[in-house]
Each structure stands twice: as structure tokens, then as C-alpha cells.
Structure 1
Amino acid sequence: MEHQRAILFADIAGSTGLYEQSGDTVALQAVVNCLDCLKAVTVAHGGQVIKTIGDELMAAFDSATQAILAANAMQSTFEKTVGGKAGIRLRIGFHLGSVIETDGDYFGDTVNLASRLTTLASPDQILTSRETYEALPSYLQATCRKLYSTAVKGRKGKVTIIEALWQQDQGQTTILPDHFTVDEAPSRDARISYQGKVWKVDERHPEATIGRDAKSTVVVTAATASRHHASVMLRQEKIIIADQSSNGTFVRLQNGQELLLRREELVLAGRVRVGLGAAVDASGDQQVLIEVER
């Protein structure tokens, strides 16, 4: 039977590292506690828990409004309670559309797109589609922003990716113009340079984290940088930088223009310089150089 539903996936990011660091018993209990938390939030917002798949939860809601409110509550609750204690984070994707229900499970393009959005999300991020965004009331649309458009396997044309801003400081960001957020030329490699050291982002190493935290790929010492400041990722044949900081990430493009990202993502091209919490010129030897290869 076909229904209109908002399908949501919530994926626990970092559980693999937790198993390695804490051992199977402790890590498994932490994941179980996290999933129980997500189930409780789902039910509290009128949703239905469909199933859990490893460390991922699948839920269904009658409306986009229920789904986004549940997603916001999941991130907020997760950060303050079980996830924060365990040192793991959450990525969420949801999409509203027609689904086929069979034996209590849901199938179809809506489910596939919701799952794909979750894969595209960074830790602590909620992603949805333009179609779902347009089904939201205006007060909730005001808490969202457009990121970029991208091709999704199994879909004709590109899907416009919308981010739901669940943290208070995210609401202070500015949406970047479309011509900065999308670069059509494919990229598969990038070099990150910092204080004489070089790291690669490519198909073998699709993400590099930057921050003061000792577990970051690129560990920096800038006083203005956050512990988890930014990530550089290979996604859909594009190199993307995503700000996750308190003070923002300054990106100087090849044309000399400098952009400030606040919980935003930007598709990179060519050679760019990055300031972590401070303008590029003011960053001195704390600048990060990123070179995107075609």
C-alpha cells in the first residue's frame, strides 16, 4: 500500500572508533543507549520507529514538520546526553514523499533518498531536500538554508540539498550565493598543507578533519581554532570544506575574495588559503593551504 510519509534516518558517527578504544562490551552498550534515546525522541514527536540497522535508526512521520522537529530534538538530546558522554555524534537525513508499506517496513524512492541524504550529512548535521523544505511551515523554513545541488544515484537531475539548523549559533549564518556553492568540474584529490606537513584527501582518504583536538587529521595550534574546527571532504567528485567551529572559517579564493563560513559548506576549486577563526592575513603561520587537483 502506498502512503505519503517523511522518512528519517539517524546514523551514529564514530561508533567504529568507540569499539576500538573502549572495547566491544562498553561500545555496544553505548550504541544501545544512543539508539534507545533516538527511539524515545521519535515516539515523543509522533513518529514510528521502523527498524534499527546496526548503529542507524529508521523512522517514519506523517509530516515534514514532525520529522524536522524530531531531527532537531535528536541532535540536541544526543549532544547533551548519551552521545556527548560517549564521544560520538549523529548525522541525520530525511525526505517527504510516497512510500510503499509492506509488513511494517517502507520502500521506494523516498526511502532511498532519505538514506542518501544521511550519507551526505556530516556529523552533527541534518540534511533534507528542497521538496521537503517546501512542505514546511514558514517558521521552520526560516531555520533552514540551501547548501548545494548534487546528482544522486537513481534520480534524474540534481537534488537540492537543504540543511536544517538545529543549533542556536547556526541561525546567525549567511547563505552563500549559488555560484560559490556549486562547482561543476569534477575533483578527486586535494592536498592540505599546514606548517610544513601535507595530507591528502582522495578516494582512499575521503575526509580530513582539522582542529585542536589530538584526534584530528590535521592538528593545529591556533588559539582561535576550535577542537573540531572544520572538515575537508571528497563528496560526489567535489572537494568540500565544512565549518564546524565557534569562530568560523575564513576561506580566501583564488580571485582574492575572502568568505566567512559559519556552520556552512563550500565547494573548493584551485588553490585556497584558510584561516581558522581569524581572517587569512591575520592567521600568519596558522594558515591552512588547500590545493584542489582536477
Structure 2
Amino acid sequence: MHAFAALLDTLIATPEARKPGVEQMILDTFQRRKAVLALDMSGFTLTVRRDGILAYLCQIRRMHKITRPLVLAHHGEVVKNEADNLLAVFDDVADAVAAALAMVNAAVVEGQAPLLAFSVGIDVGEILLLEQVDCFGDAVNLAYKLGEDIARPGEVLVTQRVREQLTDTAGLGFQSIQVSISGMDVTTFAVTPAP
């Protein structure tokens, strides 16, 4: 993170005519094309109020223990866990979708009360990736918006870009949903295993 921050400081201090060169250096160093998965746990306020913060921290710990192995099993990388969120990246959108569906399913069948409920958003695109620290970009923003604000508990939402890149959709069902994100109309798809 320090190297990235130093490059941003350099960009800020660079005269306008030389900014494109510094910008390109940052892009060459950190830009990657990735599928971005943002997961949010549902029920924070209710659980804390009803059961206390330790009960919710235990749920967050359970979420980490469920999701991290599933990200790795689907060839992904956990970028970070922050509060009740998980941010992960994948080279292949199919792996991201498979991981998301496995996470939602694992939360339901884990069997410990109270059950966990995950909401997941996935987008794909060029991002700035600081491995195991953070990532930035349009795909990150859309994945977070879908996972935190729009997806219902137990729902996996993907963008049109993800849907278009899924080459093998056998075994998957898609329901188109129009949403507004920051004033933009966005077509998303709720993904489910086909019956």
C-alpha cells in the first residue's frame, strides 16, 4: 500500500504535461482484468441489538471460515475482509459465479443457529489491484453496490458484463433485473442453480 500511495503522491505533484506518463506507470504496475466478488452478511443491526456484538463477531468469523476456502477452491484470491464484507478477485467469471453460489449454499446448509445469510455482487473489468490489501475501479464499485445494497439475503447478482462472459451457462438460471446505481440504469441478473 505504501508503494501505491507514494505513486499517487507522485501523480498529484507531477505537472499536468507529465501526468500521463505517471498514470501509465501506475496502470502498468497495478492494473489487472479481474472478476470482482463482493459479499455482504445480512442482519448486522438486528443481530447486534438482539444478541450483542460478540455474537455477531462470531458470525463474521464463521463467514471467514466458510468463504476463504471456497474462494481458494475456485481459483480466486481474497483481497480483504472488512467488517462483515468479503472482497475477492478471480481470473475467470465462471469461477467467481461458482464460488458465490457455493458460499450462499454453504451458509444455508452450515446448520449452526443462527444461519448466516450472504448477499453477493459480481462484476468484471479492469481494476487496480493491490494484492491482499485492496482494489479499486468501476467493477469493484458495481460489485459492492450489488452485494451490499441491492442483492437480497441469499442472492447472487451479476452484471451484464459478467453474464456475457459466461460461456457455459448449463446448470444456471438467470433472472434479469433492472436497477439504478448512482443514477445509472444497470441490467443485472440474479443467478441460481437451474432446477
Q: Is the 8 A contact 1:8 1:67 kept in 2?
A: yes
User: What are the equivalent positions in structure 2 for 1:170-185 lying under 5 Å apart?
Assistant: 171=194
Give distance in 1, aligned partners of 2:135 and 2:171. Answer: 26
Match of 1:132 among 151, 162, 184: 162
Give distance in 1, aligned partners of 2:172 and 2:117. Answer: 25
- Partner residue of 1:121? 151
Larger-Rg structure? 1
Report the residue type matching 2:165 in the other structure. Answer: A
3-state DSSP of counterpart to 2:152: coil
- Partner residue of 1:208? none
Provide Cα deviations, 1:17-72, integer angstroms capped at 9, x if missing partner: 22222222233112211222111111111110111111111111111000000001
- Partner residue of 1:158? 185
Give distance in 1, aligned partners of 2:49 and 2:41. Answer: 15
Report the residue type matching 1:63 in the other structure. Answer: D
Give distance in 2, aligned partners of 1:140 and 1:11. Answer: 27
3-state DSSP of counterpart to 2:113: helix
Give distance in 2, aligned partners of 1:142 and 1:19. Answer: 35
Query: Does 1:88 find its partner at 2:106?
Result: no
TM-score between both structures, scaled by the size of structure 2 = 0.77
Match of 1:52 among 76, 81, 102: 81
Shift of 1:80: 0.6
Report the residue type matching 1:125 in the other structure. Answer: E
Shift of 1:144: 1.8
Shift of the 11–5 alpha-carbon distance from structure 1 to 2, 3 Å rule, reads same
Give distance in 1, aligned partners of 2:49 and 2:116. Answer: 13
Report the residue type matching 2:89 in the other structure. Answer: A
Give distance in 2, aligned partners of 1:101 and 1:126. Answer: 23
Shift of the 140–63 alpha-carbon distance from structure 1 to 2, 3 Å rule, reads farther
Provide Cα deviations, 1:262-287, integer angstroms capped at 9, x if missing partner: xxxxxxxxxxxxxxxxxxxxxxxxxx
Match of 2:139 among 101, 105, 110: 110
- Partner residue of 2:126? 98
Q: Is the 8 A contact 2:108 2:115 kept in 1?
A: no
- Choose between structure 1 and 2 for higher RCO, CA contacts under 8 A separated by at least 6 residues: 2
Shift of 1:163: 0.8
Aligned-pair identity in percent equals 25
Higher share in helix: 2
| Residue ranges of structure 1 left out of the alignment (5+ in a row) | 173-294
Q: Is the 8 A contact 1:35 1:55 kept in 2?
A: no
Q: Is the 8 A contact 1:45 1:66 kept in 2?
A: yes
Give distance in 1, aligned partners of 2:42 and 2:54. Answer: 18
Report the residue type matching 2:104 in the other structure. Answer: Q
Higher share in strand: 1
User: What are the equivalent positions in structure 2 for 1:1-294 lying under 5 Å apart?
Assistant: 1-81=30-110, 85-102=113-130, 104=132, 105-118=134-147, 119-140=149-170, 142-148=172-178, 150-153=179-182, 158-166=185-193, 171=194
Q: Is the 8 A contact 2:107 2:115 kept in 1?
A: no
| Residue ranges of structure 2 left out of the alignment (5+ in a row) | 1-29
Shift of 1:103: 5.5
3-state DSSP of counterpart to 1:138: coil
3-state DSSP of counterpart to 2:139: helix
- Give every structure 1 segment of 4 or more consecutive aligned residues whose post-TM-superposition deviation is greater than 4 Å: none
Q: Is the 8 A contact 2:37 2:89 kept in 1?
A: yes
RMSD value, Cα: 2.0
